[in-house]
Amino acid sequence: MGSAYKPPYTLTPATLILSKWKPLWAYLPVETIIAERQYQYYAQLGKADAEGNATSFVEFMIQILKEAIISSIAMAPIPVETKTDSIEGPVKRAQFGVQSRSVLSALTKGPLSSAELSAALGLQTKSGALKRTIKELLALRQIEYTIPEKPNSRLQKYRLVGGR
């Protein structure tokens, strides 16, 4: 067995607890979605506290978890252990999500900045999932910087590897 895959971001206590229960939770962007819906999160938490009944908050969190699972499909490839019907047991495989394919597809038209990628994917802002996708695609050498010596340049763009 190789070393365990470490997600490219820090886990918060909630995700850490979930990931100790099921390691897959470490790879799902629960906190990103909560941050994007922070107002609703606190409103639901306040409502549950005022009513003395957590049902609405639990339903809200189930929706957040569902969104995290769905958006994980849109993230860059992450090694996932799955069981097969064979005797061989767990098999490591990488899954490319919708967002990874969308980023690669957008870059077939030429180099794009992260803001341009966001727009090409129909996003209003650069999401955490997009940033992670870009980081993973760079690590996998599927995309590259147009200015590799200045990765944080405001003029930085990304292109497909080999696409000059």
- What is the structure's pLDDT at 95? 34
Amino acid at 65: L
- What is the structure's pLDDT at 53? 93
Rounded to an integer, what distance in angstroms lies between the CA atom of residue 141 and that of residue 160?
Answer: 9
Q: Which of 100, 119, 115, 107 is nearest to 144 (CA)?
A: 107
β partners of residue 144:
159
pTM, full prediction: 0.42
Is the CATH code 3.40.1160.10 the one for domain 98-160? Answer: no
- What is the structure's pLDDT at 8? 47
- What is the structure's pLDDT at 5? 46
- What is the structure's pLDDT at 85? 42
- What is the structure's pLDDT at 34? 80
- What is the structure's pLDDT at 1? 44
- What is the structure's pLDDT at 50? 93
Name the token pair of 24.
Answer: 């897959």
Q: Which of 38, 18, 20, 41 is nearest to 28 (CA)?
A: 18
Q: Where would I find the beta strands (DSSP E) of the chain?
A: 79-82, 91-94, 143-145, 158-160
Structure-token match 């990628």, residue found: 117
Three-state DSSP at 112 gives: strand
List pLDDT tens digits, range 24-50: 777 777 777 787 888 888 899 899 999
Task: Show the low-confidence residues of the chain (pLDDT under 70).
Answer: 1-14, 70-98, 163-164
Rounded to an integer, what distance in angstroms lies between the CA atom of residue 49 and that of residue 65?
Answer: 21
- What is the structure's pLDDT at 71? 67
User: CATH 1.10.10.10 spans which residues of the chain?
Assistant: 98-160
